[in-house]
């Protein structure tokens, strides 16, 4: 695996009048469009310096003083094929539909360069994958969360990738999920039409926000249990965490959801609950069951159904 960073050419700026006498870390945060944690990393690794003297985060700098800095260039590490079993629901020369298990990350990212779906697909397909999304996401046209199970499309060439990406954009791909949420829904059907964007108070989360992107979810009750409901969620759009955010926003967060469970009727206690009748919860109870699309080469309608994972079926049994 290649190195993750190499040093780029240096840059510099002069401390402006309004920042005279301030700490260096505060000056950097005001001048450079980087996160505070990233700037702290630059300081710690000696990528920031001042002519004639050493500087640290707490160094006070003066107006007109020249600060030199390097922004390390990101070097993409080698993503290696790994012999990881795949549950393939459909496959031909253009694409695959894979039933992703719980706990598997879809594509490599910092902290997850091995054991991902991409590592497994590279072993299965070799170089026969679309390259539109770059070397970190070969073949990946859409994704589902680490702890969400079920159907995921993988493209073997750019023709398939472009076609399916357009179908996703046009909202013409059928995507139906099954989920178990907290609380008992009174109505049999519900249409949630709330815009979703980055949570302004927590960058790790999405939220219903006025200036977010349009997001629509159709919800239908499958069955009701004491304190819980199993629902079918049909996506009209495909925003990040859409079902999880929408269900939490109406007071019925998904069972086991570590990010959005706190939004529900159970409050803090619901977020911390890790078992239901002895069944251990490992992330949200959400399964991408049905995936339907037009084949990019033949024009034929293809539909796959991913069987319920064992944990989900056991949870239904105990409920």
Q: What angle do CA 158, 159, 164 make, to 5 degrees?
A: 95
Residue closest to 153 by CA, chosen among 98, 107, 204: 98
Active site residues: 145
Half-sphere exposure of 164 (CA within 13 A, CB side): 34
* Burial zone of 314 (CB within 10 Å; 0-12 exposed, 13-18 middle, 19+ buried): middle
Residue closest to 242 by CA, chosen among 200, 293, 205, 274: 205
* Burial zone of 318 (CB within 10 Å; 0-12 exposed, 13-18 middle, 19+ buried): exposed
């Amino acid at each position: 695996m290649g190195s993750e960073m190499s040093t780029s050419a240096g840059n510099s700026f002069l401390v402006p009048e309004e920042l005279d006498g301030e700490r260096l870390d505060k000056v950097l945060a005001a001048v450079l469009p980087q996160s505070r944690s990233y700037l702290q990393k630059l300081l710690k690794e000696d990528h920031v310096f001042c002519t004639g003297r050493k500087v640290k985060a707490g160094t006070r700098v003066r107006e007109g003083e020249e600060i030199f800095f390097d922004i390390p260039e990101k070097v993409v590490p080698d993503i290696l094929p790994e012999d990881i079993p795949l549950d393939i629901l459909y496959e031909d020369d253009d694409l695959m539909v894979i039933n992703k298990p719980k706990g598997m990350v879809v594509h490599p990212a910092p902290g997850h360069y091995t054991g991902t779906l991409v590592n497994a697909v590279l072993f299965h397909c070799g170089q026969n994958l679309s390259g539109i999304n770059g070397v970190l996401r070969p073949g990946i046209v859409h994704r589902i969360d680490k702890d969400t199970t079920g159907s995921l499309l993988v493209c073997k060439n750019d023709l398939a990738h472009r076609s399916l990406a357009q179908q996703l954009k046009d909202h013409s791909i059928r995507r139906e999920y099954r989920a178990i949420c907290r609380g008992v829904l009174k109505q049999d059907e519900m249409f949630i039409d709330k815009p979703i964007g980055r949570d302004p108070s927590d960058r790790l989360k999405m939220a219903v926000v006025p200036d977010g992107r349009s997001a629509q979810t159709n919800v239908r009750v499958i069955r009701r249990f004491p304190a819980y409901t199993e629902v079918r969620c049909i996506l009209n759009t495909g925003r990040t965490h859409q079902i999880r955010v929408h269900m939490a926003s109406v007071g019925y967060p998904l069972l086991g959801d570590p990010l959005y469970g706190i939004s529900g009727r159970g409050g803090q206690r619901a977020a911390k609950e890790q078992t239901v009748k002895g069944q251990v919860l490992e992330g949200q109870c959400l399964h991408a069951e049905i995936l339907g699309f037009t084949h990019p080469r033949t024009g034929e309608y293809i539909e796959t159904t991913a069987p319920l994972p064992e944990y989900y079926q056991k949870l239904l049994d105990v409920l």
